[in-house]
Amino acid sequence: MDYLVVKNLDIAVIVIYFMAVIGNGIYWSRKAKQSNDFLLGGKSFGIFSTLCTQGATMKGSGALMGYSAGAYVNGTGVLISSQCYSLGAWGAILSGIARKLKKCSNIIDIRSSGDLFLRRFDSPLLKKLSGLGGAWLALSIMSGNMAAVGLLIHLLFNKYGLTFEASLIIGMTITIIYTTLGGLVSVVHNDVLQWLIMTPLIFIVVPAMLIIYGGATPTAIHNALNAEQYFSLRPNIWWLGYLLSGVLAACCDVNHLTRFITAKDEKTAVKGSMLGFTFCTLLAGLVIFFGLTAAMLIEPSVVASNKDGVILALVSRILPAGLVGLFIAATLAMTISTIDSNLNTSVLCVMVDIVEPSLSQNTTEKQKLLYCRVINFIIAALSIFFVLKVKGIVAIMGMGFNVYSSAFFVPLMSCMFWKKATKNGCLAGIISGGIMAVAAINMKLPLPVVWGVAVSLVLTVSVSLFICRDSAERDLLPGFSESGQKIDRQVFTACILGASGSLVFSIGVGMWINWICIIIGAAAMYSCIRILNRAFSEYQPTA
């Protein structure tokens, strides 16, 4: 892989980055004095921290390298499909989940999605299933990013004889050190650090260098590339399917739900997450621009069949020594942020939903904190072993995203919003949705999560309404029992403006450049913030 050219200065930058991540994580770990600090950060994170951790967690190196490779081959046609999960995440705010879940967590101490099932239906079984499913989802996302970290470090240090296996272990060891010590406290503060590293570089420095030294002006790119191949969005019915898949997956993503819970208040859960999802949506437009610039400057023979490496070939050609190292540090930052967040989420699911209910009531906070750290270390170590030694494990774990969303979307939404939902209905929905997703994947059906959710919906509703119709109806949980709230209508409007505005803005950048889209998108995002600020200035939380 000769297309990645690194100098000694770049290596030094990477080493300094690793030291900064470890040092920052260890420094903040001192605030993790109880198990709730370790798992939930004391539910005290502000808007900026929530913005950074939502944005950094959602976008790994796959978003940067994969979608730039897609644009390198297919142009802006990949822009919409690259946005589906980001836009889906907006649905978790638009539907009221972010605000209501935060309020609910304050009133009855919700710590996980399993707690929602336990508090609503008094079902330890649903709680444990939710914990297992959430842990699997987190591990499935983590396993793919572990391989990416190993590959990046291997590319940097292979000339010194460092193998891929050793590179992966080094990358994970860095993550294990601070997550085992500080849990979510260290994770979120490292997400802030890594967001501060990658945002100026990817949003300002790299685009400026590509324009100044690579000649990537709008005129040059449009003259060099075929308009039909590279600048047609080519709308089709699959966009709707991809968007639906994104909504179904993102609304029940345990990482998002955890960040809503750990925000310090309802406004922070909504606004911080909104800004984080805006960051992710806007990032996609820039990534498409990187791919278009690479299509203009990098010959296909340079990267051969490994199109995912085209962004590395581009920065190696344009950026000077030191900045190449910073760019790779930013790429590592995106990946490690995804890994540490999902590692912490898997520990939360295992500890809160599976281990803690079986502990003695006399278990001290010090002992619970020790259990959290031991579970964190064991999960990380087992993940390294499985990714390196078990053939096909990444493919198996990769099913987790589709299977989890298929199994839990309808039961979780029913638990939060549907008065007639029953314990057995949710159980039927979880089992049937998961089985259908596995079947759809094996049958190679398109959009397996849609098939799984459809079957889960049928079983959840049927069992709740007909088979278990004599079951006593249980009240919705606090926060979710509210209806007709002005704040929810205002948040809905703000979300529509924010999601559509950031999408239109990213299209304007991805088309390099459509100023009309950029202006309309910016106006919509500004209106979103104005409405949101006014909404929460008028809102008076009630118990």
Q: Evaluate whether residue 431 is within a structural domain.
A: no
Looking at the chain, the whole-number percentage of residues with pLDDT higher than 90 is: 66
Number of residues that make up the chain: 543
Asked if 104 and 266 count as a contact pair (C-beta separation under 8 A), the reply is no
For residue 61, pLDDT beyond 70? no
| Domain total of the chain | 1
Task: Supply the pLDDT for residue 57.
Answer: 81
List helix spans (H) across 41-123: 47-58, 61, 67-74, 79-94, 97-108, 113-121
Q: Is the pLDDT of residue 471 over 70?
A: no
The values of phi and psi at residue 231, to 5°, are -130, 25
pLDDT at 34 > cutoff 60: yes
Rounded Cα–Cα distance for residues 287 and 207 (Å): 10
Residue 360 backbone class (left: φ over 0; alpha: ψ -120 to 50; beta: rest): beta
In sequence order, what are the residues at sequence separation of 6 or more whose Cβ sits closer than 8 angstroms to the Cβ of residue 385?
none
- Per-residue pLDDT reduced to its tens digit, 236-259: 766 777 777 778 888 888 999 999
Is 250 a domain residue? yes
Tell whether 459 is covered by a domain. Answer: no
Q: Are 255 and 57 in contact (CB under 8 A)?
A: yes
Question: Does the structure show a pLDDT above 90 at 436?
Answer: yes
**DSSP line for 438-478:** HHHHHTT-SSHHHHHHHHHHHHHHHIIIIITTTSPPPPPPT
Give the up-direction half-sphere exposure of residue 268: CA atoms within 13 A in the CB hemisphere.
Answer: 19
CATH number at residue 240: 1.20.1730.10
Nearest to 343 by CA among 25, 5, 9: 25
Mean pLDDT of 394-402: 67
Query: Which of these, 362, 203, 351, lies nearest to 289 by C-alpha position?
Result: 203
What does the H/E/C string look like for 149-167? Answer: HHHHHHHHHHHHCCCHHHH
Is the preceding peptide bond at 518 cis, omega within 30 degrees of 0? no
Q: Range with the lowest mean pLDDT among 24-33, 88-97, 242-251, 311-320?
A: 242-251
Query: 269-285 pLDDT, tens per residue?
Result: 999 999 999 999 999 99
Name the burial class of residue 472, with classes exposed (0-12), middle (13-18) and buried (19+) by CB atoms within 10 angstroms of its CB. exposed
For residue 136, the one-letter residue type is: W
Say whether pLDDT at 382 is over 90: no
Average pLDDT, the chain: 90
pLDDT (0 to 100) of residue 395: 62
Is 467 a domain residue?
no
Instruction: State residue 303's pLDDT score.
Output: 84
pLDDT in tens, 147-162: 888 888 888 888 888 8
* Contact status, residue 259 vs residue 459, Cβ threshold 8 Å: no
Residue 394 has pLDDT above 60, yes or no: no
DSSP class per residue in 297-309: HS-HHHHTT-GGG
Q: Is the pLDDT of residue 97 over 60?
A: yes
Query: Quick one: pLDDT at residue 281?
Result: 92
The token duo for 216 is 């990537």
Q: Is residue 474 part of a domain?
A: no
- Residue 421 to residue 274: CA distance in whole angstroms: 29
User: What is residue 541's predicted lDDT score, i.e. its pLDDT?
Assistant: 76
CA distance 296 to 225: 7
b/e map 78-102, b = 16+ CB within 10 Å? bbbbbbbbbbbbbbbbbbbbbbbbb
Which tens digit of pLDDT belongs to each residue from 131-141? 999 998 888 88
Distance CA 433, CA 427 (A): 10
Q: State the pLDDT at residue 2.
A: 67
Q: Residue 450 falls within a domain, yes or no?
A: no
Higher pLDDT, 62 or 149: 149
pLDDT at position 4 over 60: yes
With tokens 């096909």, the residue in question is: 392
Look at residue 473 and tell me if it is in a domain.
no
Among residues 404, 344, 360, 414, the alpha carbon closest in space to that of 117 is found at: 414
Kindly report, residue by residue over 110-119, the tens digit of the pLDDT.
999 999 999 9
Q: What percent of the chain shows pLDDT beyond 70? A: 95
Tokens of 288: 């498409």
Q: What is the pLDDT of residue 122?
A: 94
Question: Is the omega angle on the peptide bond into residue 378 within 30 degrees of 0, that is, cis?
Answer: no
Angle between helices 310-318 and 67-74 (to 10 degrees): 90
Region 428-447: mean pLDDT is 93
> Does some domain include residue 443?
no
Q: Report angle CA 35, 149, 506 to the nearest 5 degrees.
A: 95
In sequence order, what are the beta bridge partners of 263? 45
* Residue 295 structural domain: 8-389+482-538
Contact, 335 vs 60, CB < 8 A?
Answer: yes
